[in-house]
Amino acid sequence: MNSFLYLIKFSYRNLFRVPKRTLIMVLSLSLGCGFIIWDLNFASSGSREIMKEFLAQYAGQFHVTHKEFYDVSNKKQFDMFKTISDDEISDKSIFEKSSKRVVAPVFISGEKKTLGVLLTGLDVEKELELSTLYKAVTIGSFLKKEGHKDIIMGKKFARRLEVQVGDEVAVIGQAIDGSVANDLYRVSGLLDFGGGDLEESLAFTQLASAQELLSMPPERFHQRVSFDMSDGPLPVYPTLGVTPWPELLPEIGVSMQFIDNFTWIVSVIIVVVVSLGLSNTLMITFFEREQEFTSLNIIGAQTSWITAALMIEVFIMGTIAVIFGSFLGFLATTYFNHYPINIEIFTDGKPIIMGGMALAPLIRIYSVSKYYWQVPLMIYFFLILTMIYPLIRVIRRSKNAI
């Protein structure tokens, strides 16, 4: 035990042989560690904040539907004849953070044109409380809670249809009883999704209006869309289907996963670059101490003891660096938690288009606890690799190695 303590003391003392060089190595590792932790927190929080804004605007966190409502292989396809009611939902707590919807593909006719669109009937009161869809209405007004047979549509769709706010349009489709659904609606507002594709494919009306159009009983509907943005487990209903947003929007889910994975790749590259520079510095340092190692060999120190001393020396330096770096990463994350980053600084002041919607969220960075042990472990791993070549060279050049 005493020999091991002496070994640690010997290794610690050697850190101060060239204090400036040691300080540079510790700072390079610390800054690299701190930046990687902050960067991973930023990527994780950025993805989460962007998805929260995107999902809160329309899609929701998950949909509760009939088990056969969505096509198994393609969630973009659905069977509008498969409806549900609230009586089939066993856990009523979902009602607080979810909204009922009725959806159907229809044709909308103006005076000159007829175009297809997906019409969605909304529980207006709940949508105003839970979603941010109403914020996208820039011309006219959102659907009124007490209104009936009003319709809002995307600006691009209205332009193609050649209709304006206040105009009357005919809606034609198929009711769930097999009859022809048709009725007249008044355009009350136009949606602006920043020029995204959804401006050409969506229209909305009141829930009761859609139910009446489709000859659907008042207690029946297609979806309960949950806006509970927590990361908790999905509910399980034996007789119903629960579809999370990554399955509803697979292209968005893959993009978010790619961003997270790419951030890890960049982080590994940063550590490799820092490690290569550190390896070169360690080699220079070890070669400068070659006479010291030779003297230790002469007085009886085995090569394994010298190697252990050098490894402990680098380990102490790495430990100081990752502790300081983790603290720096935590401070930076905490600062940007209180002062969110506007995503538009990365897009030249323009919103990003995701899933056909324009988004310009403020990124509030949150600490992810696992990064505070994953990043140090990664740094220690590459630090060990960094030591191998310099140690081999030192051992080989030791003339009196035992």
State mean pLDDT over 32-49: 82
**pLDDT at residue 355, rounded to an integer:** 54
Sketch the domain layout of the chain as residue ranges: 2-55+253-397, 62-228
Write out the two tokens for 353.
Answer: 């288009």
Residue 255 CA to residue 42 CA, distance in Å, equals: 16
Confidence bin at 82 (pLDDT 50/70/90): very high
Contact 61, 229 (CB under 8 A): yes
Whether residue 300 is predicted with pLDDT greater than 80 in this model: the reply is: no
Who wins on pLDDT, 241 or 364?
241
CB atoms < 10 A from the CB of 132, how many?
Answer: 15
Whether residue 41 is predicted with pLDDT greater than 70 in this model: the reply is: yes
Across the strands, what pairs with 132? none
Whether the predicted model's global pTM rises above the 0.85 cut: no
**pLDDT at residue 152, rounded to an integer:** 94
Who wins on pLDDT, 277 or 158?
158
Across the strands, what pairs with 359? 352
Whether residue 208 is predicted with pLDDT greater than 70 in this model: the reply is: yes
Closest CA to 59 of 247, 208, 260, 237: 247
**pLDDT at residue 291, rounded to an integer:** 62
pLDDT per residue over 221-255, tens digit each?
A: 999 999 988 777 888 888 899 998 888 877 776 77
Closest CA to 163 of 175, 181, 151: 151
**pLDDT at residue 38, rounded to an integer:** 87
**pLDDT at residue 211, rounded to an integer:** 94
pLDDT per residue over 102-148, tens digit each?
A: 999 999 998 888 899 999 999 999 999 999 888 888 899 999 988 88
Whether residue 401 is predicted with pLDDT greater than 60 in this model: the reply is: no
pLDDT, the chain, mean = 81
Confidence bin at 6 (pLDDT 50/70/90): low
**pLDDT at residue 400, rounded to an integer:** 47
Who wins on pLDDT, 258 or 242?
242
State mean pLDDT over 349-376: 73
Confidence bin at 402 (pLDDT 50/70/90): very low
AA identity, residue 87: D
Contact 41, 366 (CB under 8 A): yes
Whether residue 323 is predicted with pLDDT greater than 50 in this model: the reply is: yes
Instruction: Return the percentage of the chain with pLDDT > 70, whole number.
Output: 79
State mean pLDDT over 42-46: 79
Who wins on pLDDT, 15 or 209?
209
**In degrees rounded to 5, what are phi and psi of residue 371?**
-70, -25
Who wins on pLDDT, 347 or 210?
210
Confidence bin at 28 (pLDDT 50/70/90): confident
Q: Which helix (H) or strand (E) holds 154?
A: strand 150-154
**How many whole angstroms from its chain centre is CA 167?**
40
